[in-house]
Amino acid sequence: MRPLAIVIGLLLAGAALACSGRVPPPGATLSGSVWVDGNANGIRDKCDPPGADASPRLELRGADGQTFETKADKNGRFTFLDVAAGKYTLGVRQSPGFQWPVTAPRDTETFGTYGLQLLGYEKLDGLDFGVVGHEPLKIYPDGYGLFVILFNDHDLDGELGVDECALRGPEGMTASADGEESSSFVGQLAIYKFEDLREPPREVKPAYQDWDLNSFLVATRLDPSGCAEEVTPAAVPGSRLFQAAIGMRMAQGTASLSASVFLDSDEDGVRDEGEPDSYLPVSVTGRCEDGPRMAPSVFEIGVYRFTNIPTGRWWVRLDTLQPYAEFEIYPTTPEVVEIDVQEHSDIAVEFGVSYPDAAFIRVLVVSDDNLNGEPDPGEDPLRDAVICVNTGGDSVACGGASPEGSPALLGPFQPGSYTLWVSGFGGRSTPFPDVDLAVTVGEGEMISLTIAVAP
């Protein structure tokens, strides 16, 4: 257990300092990370996206009531420096009216937090936290929240296990809790959130709507004799949140596949942090053995999904549709990927593209909490911001920040000078600066801007 290991480490560290005669440093150092738990199982596995992508604040509370706060960096890492000796609790800060769904740590005495007895000179790392989604759930002070995970139940045991990932946003499916439906995905995953519930949820089930039942079938087993569609949500300890996981199995002999296309800014053939999905004129098709070429059954910005596909040897192909594009498009990864598709598998592939002659603008809009007119570290991105660019005459191109709060991507443009402004920012007051921004971008260049908006 982690708490025992921490205590033993502290005793050994104290003994070593006593024997050496060295003077201990002035305070302890506490470090760890925050990650997005892509299947809400409390285990860091292949289902979890790289990087942080979430922005909770970490709170260190002493036994005397004194608190310290910090925020994880873009890679999810955080550190508390010069912490005095004493007894502390470390956890994700929960604000009134909002709750972060915390899934880890789960092997401590108090779920979701670490209890620490510090001597004042330790260096502790590995104080990690898993959270579901990229923002907290809205909850009334006396209300409840719920998130429901529909996952690919590979072993058909009805339990959410390691590497059993949430489905990738199945078309036409919602989740229903006590008769109330939700189609609000967490990112592009089939994790549905229910906010501001007046009563604790009693039962949850998938609501199929027009979904093809031959693709996935409910596989959560409630008794040895078979399967059932309804599950009882479990309370998340120490919060007003509930969680339910519903296992889904693919129809016999079928699988699913998704292909994403990203803008490879450095043309290295690898998707690096910050390289966004490409919604520009490309196409992805698939073909199994000697069968005909297939179009994806679901398309979102930069993501092509093939559901209920037969098993066997598959070739997934990227087509640049160059005759329809204003700029030259160059693939930076192989244009054809060969895959061995196994029954019940859920496969993801990526293609990189580059537009070396075009210009792009990336804009991040943040909440200017201290009203100084400048973006500062720790100020949260606005997920509902809309940014527009005058591309000449009466032509205007607009783009919005993603649900995860990543910057809006505008382009491709011809190299030149443009006027940029924020046209929508969720009821916020005038942005800083309160004038239009003039930007100049060159051939093959992508410039990044950050705009602070008053709360």
Taking only the tens place, the pLDDT of each residue in 126-161 is: 999 999 887 888 887 888 888 888 887 777 677 788
pLDDT of residue 66 exceeding 70: yes
pLDDT of residue 202 exceeding 80: yes
pLDDT of residue 439 exceeding 90: no
Model pLDDT, residue 7: 35
DSSP-assigned letters across all residues of 341-407: EPTT-EEEEEEEEE-TT-EEEEEEEEE-TT-SSS--TTPPBPTT-EEEEEEETTEEEEEE--TT-PP
Helix (H) or strand (E) holding 245, with range, is strand 241-250
Contact 99, 145 (CB under 8 A): yes
Model pLDDT, residue 53: 64
3-state secondary structure of 5: helix
Model pLDDT, residue 290: 67
Q: Which positions ≥6 away from 129 have C-beta within 8 Å?
A: 32, 33, 34, 35, 56, 58, 91, 92, 102, 104, 105, 112
Give pLDDT tens digits for 362-418: 888 877 777 777 777 777 777 667 778 877 766 677 766 655 566 777 878 888 888
Q: pTM of the prediction?
A: 0.56
**CA dist., res. 304 & res. 189, Å (int):** 14
The encoded tokens of residue 405 equal 């709060």
Q: Which positions ≥6 away from 79 have C-beta within 8 Å?
A: 29, 30, 31, 70
pLDDT of residue 215 exceeding 50: no
For residue 32, what pLDDT band results from cuts at 50, 70 and 90?
A: very high
Give pLDDT tens digits for 78-133: 999 999 999 999 999 887 778 888 888 987 777 889 999 999 889 999 999 999 88
Domains of the chain, earliest start first: 2-131 (2.60.40.10), 139-250 (2.60.40.10), 254-354 (2.60.40.10), 359-453 (2.60.40.10)
* Best mean pLDDT range from 26-30, 186-190, 237-241: 26-30
pLDDT of residue 211 exceeding 60: no
> What's phi and psi for 5, nearest 5 deg?
-60, -40
**CA dist., res. 82 & res. 98, Å (int):** 30
Model pLDDT, residue 71: 86
Model pLDDT, residue 175: 66
Model pLDDT, residue 285: 81
Sheet holding 431-432, edge to edge: 408-413, 359-367, 446-453, 431-432
Specify the DSSP class assigned to residue 273: T
The arithmetic mean of pLDDT across residues 68-85, rounded, is 89
Contact 226, 158 (CB under 8 A): no
For residue 324, what pLDDT band results from cuts at 50, 70 and 90?
A: low
Model pLDDT, residue 293: 75
Give the side-chain half-sphere CA count within 13 A for 22: 10
Contact 191, 185 (CB under 8 A): yes
For residue 284, what pLDDT band results from cuts at 50, 70 and 90?
A: confident
As a whole number, the mean pLDDT across the chain is 75
Model pLDDT, residue 252: 60
Q: How far apart are the first and last CA of the chain?
A: 43
Sheet holding 180-182, edge to edge: 180-182, 174-177, 204-207
Model pLDDT, residue 132: 86
Q: What angle do CA 158, 160, 165 make, to 5 degrees?
A: 120
The encoded tokens of residue 436 equal 């239009």
Model pLDDT, residue 25: 57
For residue 310, what pLDDT band results from cuts at 50, 70 and 90?
A: confident
For residue 20, what pLDDT band results from cuts at 50, 70 and 90?
A: very low
> What's phi and psi for 404, nearest 5 deg?
-85, -5
